[in-house]
Amino acid sequence: MADFDLKPFDTKIEAAKEWLAKEYRGLRTGRAAPSILDSVQVSAYGSMMPLKQVGNVGIEDARTLRVSAYDAGLIKDIEKAISAANLGVGTSSDGATVRVTFPELSGERREQLVKFAKGKLEEARTSVRLARDESWKLVQEREREGTLTEDDKFSLKDEIQKKIDKANEELEAAFESKEKEMTS
């Protein structure tokens, strides 16, 4: 087959899968998971900083996380940042640590979360489709320029489609796993 680099295409597919995995890590399931706080930004020392740079997050029990600040003066800022992140969790402070509690999920909330997760799956699939369309366009341009034969063009089309099918299967598997976690 002619010299055509599918690495940029592969990179975009991997980026879509990683993005979906990151989105799903932050999706609350009723169990305490420190990763839900990864997106929290705390106002500290005159700038916004990730929570993990100003404190340590640990699991206290199945539905409670404990955040210990490296600087006790930041406890109020940490509590405020977690509340402002609108993660659907409760916060309380004893002056030395912040406790983050996860309420039990209602049936209605579980349905909302599954619907949200499905929406994220669709966003990832859209990214994959856009990557496919970009690559296919490049393949067609190369054929018009004469650097690819028609046979090469169709071989590449098949290869791209196989990668798309595999990526969509992996994205669907990630959704099904998260859905199972949220409904059990």
Counting residues of the chain whose pLDDT is more than 90, the rounded percentage is 51
Cα angle 17, 23, 27; round to 5: 140
Cα–Cα distance measured from residue 103 to residue 64, given in angstroms and rounded to the nearest whole number: 9
- Which CA distances in Å does 168 have to 2, 96, 162? 27, 46, 10
Per-residue pLDDT at 2 exceeds 70: no
Per-residue pLDDT at 28 exceeds 70: no
| pLDDT of the residue at 173 | 96
Domains of the chain (ranges plus CATH)?
7-25+106-183 (1.10.132.20), 34-101 (3.30.1360.40)
pLDDT-based confidence at residue 33 (cuts at 50, 70, 90):
confident
Counting residues of the chain whose pLDDT is more than 70, the rounded percentage is 96
| pLDDT of the residue at 137 | 94
Which pLDDT tens digit goes with each residue over 58-107? 888 878 899 999 988 889 999 999 888 877 788 888 888 999 888 777 78
Per-residue pLDDT at 30 exceeds 70: no
| pLDDT of the residue at 101 | 87
Residue range 21-45: mean pLDDT, rounded: 80
| pLDDT of the residue at 175 | 94
Cα–Cα distance measured from residue 35 to residue 168, given in angstroms and rounded to the nearest whole number: 25
| pLDDT of the residue at 99 | 92
Answer whether 139's CB lies under 8 Å from 175's CB.
no
Per-residue pLDDT at 135 exceeds 80: yes
Spatial CA neighbour of 93 closest among 109, 110, 72, 108: 72
Structure tokens that stand for 57 in this block: 């997050």
Average pLDDT, the chain: 88
Per-residue pLDDT at 18 exceeds 80: yes
Report the predicted TM-score, pTM, of the whole model to 2 decimal places.
Answer: 0.66
Ramachandran bin of 83, using left for φ above 0, alpha for ψ from -120 to 50, beta for the remaining angles: alpha
Between β-strands 55-61 and 47-50, what pairing exists: parallel, antiparallel or unpaired? unpaired
Per-residue pLDDT at 154 exceeds 80: yes
**What string of H, E and C letters represents the secondary structure of the chain?**
CCCCCCHHHHHHHHHHHHHHHHHHHCCCCCCCCHHHHCCCEEEECCEEEEHHHHEEEEEEECCEEEEEECCHHHHHHHHHHHHHCCCCCEEEECCCEEEEECCCCCHHHHHHHHHHHHHHHHHHHHHHHHHHHHHHHHHHHHHHHCCCCHHHHHHHHHHHHHHHHHHHHHHHHHHHHHHHHHHC
